[in-house]
């Protein structure tokens, strides 16, 4: 939002707070459709909405919607966490190798990526997909994470778990602790790779989107997840190991793909987490038990890029349009707030500033004290709440008059005593 463009504000006193409600003509910080001719496109979009509403009013007409092959699916916007599409997103299911997203982020956060890991016999004996580690070899933890994410190495998963957690069981405990911290309320991990060797190794599409959103805030994870090919030293051969990413969305199918993780077991079927970015619009798609997962993800991303724009609803910095002398030009937000909106939703956003009743003595307010909150609503649903900070003028800040007065006094003093 460009706060200088706020069109109207209603102010009322509630208890010890001022409530300032603003209708917000937000500022688009990026459009998934590109910037060229955006004004004309918006006119056509609004005309299309009117025509569409007329069509939908015809008896027997069914509103079109995204259709995916997945039993469970979710599409989430990275910055805000807004869910743009869901299909049984909270259904508890087996998840196969997308489990390794948790294994990877724990390894990265351990701070041990440069350490050498000695590969155990247990790691080498791990079933399923493998990077063909050798018992007793020493390999950097970072290379193991690449082997885990690009080639889905179950041997790499066990080696990571033993090194980072002290044991596989110790690492599984760490996985469930992290899941709790992130808010994955319907998840329980029982191994570091996702094989069907435990009945209680389960999650949901929504929980896996939460995990991916968390992991994508880590630059090292983003780099590894988005790597197409990685070379790792091979201690017993004259050539390097070369690992090509199994995620075909990233390597060949979708130009906006930025990473993700594939998965498959006989019981879980095909599972897939993928991320995509177009301009400033970043999204996460998760599908569980999806026979046509590549196309599911492309359809989800393309529909969202077409239907939504990323809007800056609140801008970092000074809050305008507050007339009270104590707060005017002295309250600010320490970060911005952006949110994906459809064209129809753009007119439905409002911001309500809830500010403390001004005190009689300005000196009672400390620098950077929270003066209230900026609550953002989409229709009647609150979608964000940001602290509003008070920043009074510094004690050594002086007006031009005070500065002139001091200079004049100094000169007069020189004349009197000179």
Q: Which residues are catalytic?
A: 97, 100, 152
For the purposes of burial, counting CB atoms within 10 Å of the CB of 358, is it exposed (0-12), middle (13-18) or buried (19 or more)?
middle
Taking the C-alpha atoms of residue 111 and residue 225, their distance in angstroms, rounded to an integer, is 18
What is the 3-class SS of 86-150, one letter each residue? EECCCCCECCHHHHHHHHHHHHHHCCCCCCEEECCHHHHCCCCCCCCCCCCCEEEHHHHHHHHHH
Give CA torsion, residues 329, 333, 334, 335, to 10 deg. -140
Taking the C-alpha atoms of residue 284 and residue 65, their distance in angstroms, rounded to an integer, is 19
Cβ–Cβ under 8 Å, residues 274 and 247: yes
Query: Quick one: which H or E segment has residue 283?
Result: strand 281-288
**Strands across the sheet with 27-31, in order?**
27-31, 309-314, 337-341
Q: Describe the crossing of helices 168-182 and 100-109 by its angle, rounded to 10 degrees.
A: 90
């Amino acid at each position: 939002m460009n706060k200088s463009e706020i069109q109207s504000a209603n102010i009322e006193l509630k208890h010890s707070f001022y409530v300032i409600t603003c209708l917000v003509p937000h500022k688009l910080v990026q459009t998934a459709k590109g910037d060229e001719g955006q004004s004309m496109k918006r006119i056509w979009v609004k005309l299309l909405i009117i025509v569409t509403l007329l069509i939908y009013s015809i008896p027997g007409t069914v509103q079109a919607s995204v259709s995916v092959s997945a039993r469970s699916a979710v599409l989430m916007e990275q910055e805000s966490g807004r869910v743009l599409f869901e299909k049984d997103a909270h259904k508890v299911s087996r998840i196969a190798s997308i489990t390794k997203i948790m294994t990877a982020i724990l390894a990265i956060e351990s701070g041990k990526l440069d350490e050498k890991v000695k590969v155990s016999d247990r790691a080498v004996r791990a079933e399923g997909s493998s990077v063909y580690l050798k018992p007793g070899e020493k390999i950097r933890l970072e290379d193991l994470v690449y082997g885990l994410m690009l080639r889905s190495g179950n041997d790499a998963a066990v080696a990571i778990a033993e090194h980072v957690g002290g044991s596989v069981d110790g690492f599984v405990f760490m996985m469930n602790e992290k899941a709790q911290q992130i808010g994955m309320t319907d998840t329980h991990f029982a191994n570091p790779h996702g094989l069907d060797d435990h009945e209680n190794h389960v999650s949901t599409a929504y929980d896996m989107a939460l995990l991916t959103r968390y992991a994508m805030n880590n630059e090292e994870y983003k780099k590894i997840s988005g790597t197409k090919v990685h070379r790792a030293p091979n201690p017993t051969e004259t050539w390097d190991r070369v690992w090509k990413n199994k995620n075909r969305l990233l390597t060949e199918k979708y130009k906006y793909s930025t990473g993700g993780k594939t998965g498959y077991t006989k019981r879980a079927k095909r599972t897939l987490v993928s991320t995509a970015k177009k301009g400033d619009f970043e999204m996460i798609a998760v599908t569980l038990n999806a026979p046509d997962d590549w196309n599911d993800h492309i359809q989800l991303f393309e529909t969202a890029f077409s239907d939504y724009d990323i809007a800056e609803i609140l801008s970092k910095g000074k809050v305008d349009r507050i007339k009270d002398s104590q707060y005017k030009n002295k309250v600010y937000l320490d970060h911005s707030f952006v949110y994906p909106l459809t064209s129809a939703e753009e007119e439905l956003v409002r911001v309500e500033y809830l500010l403390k009743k001004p005190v009689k003595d300005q000196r009672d307010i400390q620098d950077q004290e929270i003066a209230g909150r900026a609550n953002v609503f989409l229709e009647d649903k609150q979608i964000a709440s940001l602290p509003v900070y008070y920043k009074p003028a510094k004690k050594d800040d002086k007006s031009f008059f005070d500065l002139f007065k001091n200079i004049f006094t100094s000169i007069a003093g020189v004349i009197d005593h000179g």
